[in-house]
Amino acid sequence: METNRGVPKTDAGGSPRLTSPTNLEALGFGFEDESWLAALREAETPLPLGSIGPYELLGEISRGGQGVVFQARQPGTRRKIALKRPLAGALSSAGARLRFEQEIEAAAALNHPNIVTVYGMEIVDGSPVYAMEWVEGRPITAWANPSSAAGTEPAVEELHRDPREKLEVFLRVCDAIQHAHARGVLHRDLKPSNILVDASGQPHVLDFGLAKRTEPAERTEFYGLTTASGFLGTPAYASPEQLAGGAVLDARTDVYSLGVLLYELLAGRHPFCEKKGVAAFMRAVETETPVRPSTFDLRLDREVDTIAGKAMAKDRDRRYSTVEALARDLRSYLAGEPIEALPPSSWYLLRKLIQRNRLASVLLALIFLITMSSAIWSTIQSKRLKSALAEAEFRNSLYEKMKGWSPDSILKRADINPYDPRRRQEPPRNPPTPEIVD
């Protein structure tokens, strides 16, 4: 095995180990072109498990454009840690090294319970490596929608995880990202695999490999890390301006990525999952409005649709200006209060007031119904009483007038002819005999 590039050697016990480079050739200098490419390809191949410096490697966890992450054991404490180094190790380009150093600097500046803790950084075999907290967990989308995660057997209680529980965990992620923003760090690569949820339901944000410092005195020599002159990130969760490149990025870029994550947590699918091919996906991100999350989960409503839509607005001026504003609307939604993303109409405000005070609203509604029923019943009874009194007064008046009247006087007053054929009574039995005329 070659010994001039800082790759594993075999020690006396036969275990592979890494040694520090002893000359410039071990760092990639002085090679012919083809030798350099061969050394670079070899550096990027998976390492046989063994050790990196004092760290015992337990397994390779992930490998991407920004570096490779191992599960390792920390010397002395013997605790499990995550160990990350640039993808090409000692042969990394100057830009890759600077990005890696900025990741370490950004992550080390943060101290939040939902952001992985950085233990330290050192140079091992000519390559920077840093150790960080090891998290046993699942990507946040697999946690939220376990039935859609490949190769998993979700527990019964996980099959229909409550949207409120999802939102509460997502809010902790928002708090972590807001903490980073408040300290001048943009993440720029928020995606499910960079947010792990442990067995207790606590999310952990990791991988600040594309982080950008936003202080006025930030170092502009970080090879385009202060502006999106070239695409860096994960296209499925990148904002339209991040995909287009050339724009100065700010907190609203992370707001968009969080909006996509929120949509996926609630709907159980990516907003543009049906798009096939890069070109179709790019067009969808730039021009199409996703189907509302409530279409896929009837437990959701218009308000949460509005929040997710505002976070994913194509025009960043129409998004939430900060992650804090996004979190504030979500908290208002969970508390039954009006959200800022919807216009404050009178009916909407009344409905939210009723939702916040359900018991009082029910009691008031009962009191109102009882009062109205009593009022209606009283009105009806009053009308009946007045009608009865009027009829009694009429009968009494009529009785007073008819006192002392004989039948003949009654007929005379009424001007009624007893033989009138229009009367509804039988004719007299002995009618007068008509005169016979000779």
The reported pLDDT for the residue numbered 195 is 96
With bands split at pLDDT 50, 70 and 90, how would you rate the model's confidence at 412?
Answer: low
With bands split at pLDDT 50, 70 and 90, how would you rate the model's confidence at 77?
Answer: confident
- Alpha carbon distance 398, 409 (integer Å): 15
Average pLDDT over residues 53-76: 85
- Alpha carbon distance 111, 309 (integer Å): 30
With bands split at pLDDT 50, 70 and 90, how would you rate the model's confidence at 386?
Answer: confident
Average pLDDT over residues 333-348: 77
Q: Which CATH class is domain 144-342?
A: mainly alpha
Task: Name residue 124's beta-bridge partners.
Answer: 127
More confident residue, 283 or 15: 283
CA distances, 329 to each of 140, 263, 307 (Å): 21, 15, 7
Q: With 60 as the cut, is the pLDDT of residue 18 above it?
A: no
Average pLDDT over residues 202-227: 61
With bands split at pLDDT 50, 70 and 90, how would you rate the model's confidence at 397?
Answer: confident
Least confident of 269-273, 284-288, 320-324, 361-365: 361-365
Least confident of 245-254, 269-278, 399-408: 399-408
Average pLDDT over residues 146-175: 78
The reported pLDDT for the residue numbered 259 is 97
Give the strands of the sheet with 195-198, arranged side by side: 137-139, 195-198, 203-205
The winner for highest mean pLDDT among 55-69, 193-207, 244-258 is 193-207
- Alpha carbon distance 25, 31 (integer Å): 7
More confident residue, 213 or 334: 334
Average pLDDT over residues 277-300: 89
The reported pLDDT for the residue numbered 220 is 35
The reported pLDDT for the residue numbered 237 is 93
Mean pLDDT for the chain?
76
| CB 271, CB 286: distance < 8 Å | no
The reported pLDDT for the residue numbered 419 is 59
Least confident of 176-190, 211-225, 329-343, 372-386: 211-225
The reported pLDDT for the residue numbered 158 is 60
- Reference 119, options 164, 169, 143, 84; nearest CA is 84
With bands split at pLDDT 50, 70 and 90, how would you rate the model's confidence at 135?
Answer: very high
182 Cβ partners below 8 Å, 6+ apart?
none
Q: Within the chain, how many helices (H) and strands (E) appear?
A: 12, 13
Provide, rounded to the nearest whole percent, the portion of the chain with pLDDT above 90.
Answer: 31
With bands split at pLDDT 50, 70 and 90, how would you rate the model's confidence at 7?
Answer: very low
With bands split at pLDDT 50, 70 and 90, how would you rate the model's confidence at 392?
Answer: confident
Average pLDDT over residues 237-249: 86
Average pLDDT over residues 57-63: 88
More confident residue, 406 or 135: 135
b/e code 337-346 from CB counts within 10 Å (16+ = b): ebbebbeeee
The winner for highest mean pLDDT among 203-207, 254-258, 284-288 is 254-258
Give long-range contacts, CB 8 A cutoff, 24+ apart: 108-114: 109/183, 109/184, 109/185, 110/179, 110/180, 110/183, 110/185, 110/208, 112/175, 112/176, 112/179, 112/180, 113/202, 114/172, 114/173, 114/175, 114/176, 114/202, 114/203, 114/204, 114/205
Q: With 90 as the cut, is the pLDDT of residue 312 above it?
A: yes
The reported pLDDT for the residue numbered 125 is 80
Residue range 1-134 in CATH 3.30.200.20:
yes
183 Cβ partners below 8 Å, 6+ apart?
109, 110
The reported pLDDT for the residue numbered 1 is 36
DSSP letter at 90 equals G
With bands split at pLDDT 50, 70 and 90, how would you rate the model's confidence at 10?
Answer: very low
| CB 304, CB 298: distance < 8 Å | no
- Alpha carbon distance 59, 61 (integer Å): 6
What is the sign of the dihedral through the CA atoms of 339, 312, 67 and 93?
negative
- Reference 261, options 193, 315, 338, 352; nearest CA is 193
CA distances, 308 to each of 16, 258, 262, 289, 434 (Å): 50, 9, 6, 11, 106
Q: With 70 as the cut, is the pLDDT of residue 429 above it?
A: no
- pTM for this one? 0.67
Each residue's pLDDT tens digit, 21-49: 333 343 344 444 555 445 545 545 555 56
Catalytic residues, by residue number, are 189
More confident residue, 234 or 430: 234
The reported pLDDT for the residue numbered 73 is 92
Tell how strand 55-63 and strand 68-73 pair up: antiparallel
